[in-house]
Amino acid sequence: MLKGPLHTSKASPSRWFNRLYTLVYTVAIFALLYHHSCNLIYSPSLTTFFLLVADLVLAFFWATWQSFFFNPVHRQVFPENLAQVAKESDYPGLDVFVCTADPFKEPPVGVINTVLSVLAYDYPTDKLSVYLSDDGGSQLTLFAFMEAAKFAKHWLPYCKKYNILDRSPEVHFRKDPSLFLETNEIKAMYENMKSTIKDVMDKGTIDVEQFNDDRTIKALTKWTSRFTRHQHPTVIEVLLKRNHDKDVSGHYMPNLFYLAREKNKAAPQNFKAGAINALLRVSATLTNAPIFLILDCDMYSNDPKTPLHFLDPTIGSNFGFVQFPQLFDNINKYDTYTTEHVLENRICTSGMDGLEGMSFMGTNAFFKREALTGKPTKAKWKWNEQNQSEYDLTLAHRVASCSFEENTKWGSEIGFRYGTLVEDAYTSFRLQCLGWKSVACRPDRPAFLGNMPISLNDFLMQTKRWYMGLLQVAISKFSPITFGIRNMNPLQALCHAYFQFRAFWCIPIIIYAFLPQLALVNSTAIFPKVSDPWFSLYVFLFLGAYGKNLVDYVVAGSTLKKWWSYQRMWLILGCSTYLFSFFDWLVTSLGMSTLEFNVTSKVSDNEQEIRYHKGIFSFGVESPMFVSINVAVIVNFFAFFMGIGHVLINNGRVEELFGQLFITGFGVVIGWPIFEGMVLRSDKGKMPIKTTLISVCVALSIHLLFSSAF
């Protein structure tokens, strides 16, 4: 008999306030659209047309955003009550999939920390297997993991003996310099492993002759002269075998497998989705656990008891996965680039959880294997798990080959779905359309922590990939507003639409970043006068939107400083990422470019870190995305001073031009760090001179071009 529940979920009382707000604001939006339509009919011009288009797109995003507020839920989990319903021996098998793709962008020591943190889970070792997928097909990564497997034999018993919470060694040694009797000894081993790996990384190759054990030599000599990153046979290595390999205290270790799936230039690789599907099949031949966890190599487990959060045997049979939030331990107090994703992690999560379920965020989620391989059926904890002592790797090699997926449903109806750069959001969307449900779980102690880029360019490149990938889904036969609305809760489909169409945000942002400014330079008024009643509608809409957003930010537990960064980055992304992801989508759809997954770099230099922690932007490299941001900033600065000039010379016009002066002034304040980067800074992270000069030329041309337009 259950004494306490395993989990509870409560609808948030704030939903009533939100529904009322939505109602009032909707009326105001319709009034504005009516105002624009009248203007377009009675005084048609390109300006009135663009203002209508901008506000229509904003209204679309506002409407889809409201679906997150319809029924947010607060969920709590009580794993301490699990012992009342299940013994450890009843726990299901758990396969953990960690992906890496490039040893130079994703240094193996970081990946080792990810893997060790889950290998050391407080979970029966005979039920736990960790699989590393190496899409970089790198001998260096395999070598690093051979070293890691040796270190794990010391690390696991140490963690368990002292019940250590931080099971990523890097984090543990950073926080607790010398806590226990063995700490210094284990730390020395860790440092030693790091320096062995660093030596090999610096050299870039491995001299196989230096080894004398057959197993290592056999594994490493698979890298022949014909073996390249894009063309190589499958490599599978059993680095640790459960019920066979023991740690230094004599306890059995979990499984640790290395997999580099076959690569062939002629066969599509499908990026991470392809890697996970290969892992799904390989693991099915070896361990076939009913539950698997996906973890990116830039995350680590922050709580060894996390798997227990998934184990509610009473949960519905159509329950597909549980998503833990993506939280990061390297965010500064300003959240300069808004990499913390406060709203996505709080508002969107509880909002979608209260509808039909969370989106998958690419990492930190436990899935039921069945969700990827079949339709919702009766829940079963017991699965046809494989628990053999000898692994037959022949079948595993066969299912990891390039040709295996030919003429199968992998990528279309089975496994992670192909055809987009955001396999995560897309696959969970398709699963939800099939009837699978999911929940968001947010324990007080974060289950996982990770790293986000700390240079603007890295973040822009990353988000460009996301929004391009999302657009691929938005404009496809599986679009949430056509297919989604028919196959899932329509509000849930709107939540997906909010994300998937996000590239279109560039339309209103670019219109508002240029149109009022260029009109102001030419002294043309485009908004109602201050004394006009329509002006108060603008004031209400502006304050209502920004004010509500601020409330949401604060309710999500964030700060005013971070909210301000969010406002800045929203506009910066509008002039860069959103626009460029749209172009990327266009050229790829027209067949002029092939799809590419640009792996985010997980390496940063010291100076960059110092700048980031002071809240200073890092530009540093040349990028066309910087040009478009700079141009918007230059246009706003120039227009603001021209506007002030017009008002001073011609006093009476301040009423007419106030709206434009305000928006342009807002642009100046928001754009200040960019202006600083272009003009006032001399450090290595400043805007490259060439980028600034190109931007000035483009801004000048725009001014010349539009000087006669008004």
Task: List the beta bridge partners of residue 321.
Answer: 367, 438
| Helix/strand/coil percent split, the chain, to 5 | 55, 10, 35
Q: Closest approach of Cβ 111 to ligand UPG, in Å? A: 8
What is the number of the residue whose Cβ is closest to ligand UPG?
A: 362
Q: Does 421 bind ligand UPG (CB under 6 A)?
A: yes
Q: Does 451 bind ligand UPG (CB under 6 A)?
A: no
Would you say 238 and 396 are in contact if contact means Cβ atoms under 8 Å apart? Answer: no
Q: Closest approach of Cβ 258 to Mn ion, in Å? A: 20
**Helices then strands (H, E): number in the chain?**
24, 12
**Token pair for 341:** 């994703």
Q: Does 470 bind ligand UPG (CB under 6 A)?
A: no
Distance of CA 276 to the CA centre of its chain: 17
Round to whole Å and give the CA distance between 479 and 426.
10
Closer Cβ to ligand UPG, 39 or 451, answer by number: 451
Round to whole Å and give the CA distance between 369 and 381.
11
Q: Does 466 bind ligand UPG (CB under 6 A)?
A: yes
Would you say 424 and 285 are in contact if contact means Cβ atoms under 8 Å apart? Answer: no
Kindly identify the residues of this chain, within the stretch 83-102, that bind ligand UPG according to CB under 6 A. Answer: 99-101
Q: Which residue in 102, 135, 166, 245 is the catalytic one?
A: 135
Closer Cβ to ligand UPG, 133 or 285, answer by number: 133
Sketch the per residue contact string, 546 through 585, with ligand UPG: x for CB under 6 A, - otherwise: ----------------------------------------
Q: Which residue in 134, 245, 312, 424 is the catalytic one?
A: 424
Closer Cβ to Mn ion, 459 or 501, answer by number: 459
> Which residue of 95, 102, 147, 298 would you call a contact of Mn ion, by CB under 5 A?
298
What is the number of the residue whose Cβ is closest to Mn ion?
A: 298
Q: Closest approach of Cβ 421 to ligand UPG, in Å? A: 5
Sketch the per residue contact string, 248 through 287, with ligand UPG: x for CB under 6 A, - otherwise: -----------------------xx--x------------
Kindly identify the residues of this chain, within the stretch 281-340, that bind ligand UPG according to CB under 6 A. Answer: 296-298
Round to whole Å and give the CA distance between 663 and 640.
9
Q: Does 135 bind ligand UPG (CB under 6 A)?
A: yes
Per-residue CA distances from 178 to 79, 159, 165, 171, 195 (Å): 31, 14, 15, 13, 20
Round to whole Å and give the CA distance between 427 and 478.
11
Give, in degrees to the nearest 5, the angle at Cα 535 between 534 and 541.
Answer: 95
Alpha helices in 605-679 (DSSP H): 606-614, 624-649, 654-675
The reply to whether 127 sits in an annotated binding site is no
Q: Is 424 a catalytic residue?
A: yes
**Token pair for 576:** 């860069």
The reply to whether 437 sits in an annotated binding site is no
Q: Is 126 a catalytic residue?
A: no
Kindly identify the residues of this chain, within the stretch 194-233, that bind ligand UPG according to CB under 6 A. Answer: none
Q: Closest approach of Cβ 459 to Mn ion, in Å? A: 11
Phi and psi based region of residue 357 (left: phi greater than 0; alpha: psi -120 to 50; beta: remaining): left
Q: Does 462 bind ligand UPG (CB under 6 A)?
A: yes
HSE, CB side, 13 Å, CA atoms: give it for residue 124.
12
Round to whole Å and give the CA distance between 67 and 345.
15
Q: Does 362 bind ligand UPG (CB under 6 A)?
A: yes
The reply to whether 245 sits in an annotated binding site is no
Q: Closest approach of Cβ 361 to Mn ion, in Å? A: 10
Amino acid at residue number 513:
A
Closer Cβ to Mn ion, 111 or 235, answer by number: 111
Residue of 147, 4, 10 lying closest to 83 (CA atoms): 4
The reply to whether 477 sits in an annotated binding site is no
Residue of 498, 465, 452 lying closest to 60 (CA atoms): 498
Residue of 41, 43, 57, 47 lying closest to 660 (CA atoms): 47
Binding residues for UDP-alpha-D-glucose: 105-106, 135
Binding residues for Mn(2+): 272, 296
Site residues, ligand UPG (CB under 6 A):
99-101, 106, 133, 135, 271-272, 275, 296-298, 362-363, 421-424, 462, 465-466, 469, 597, 599-600
Site residues, Mn ion (CB under 5 A):
296, 298
- Could you give the residue numbers annotated as active site? 135, 424
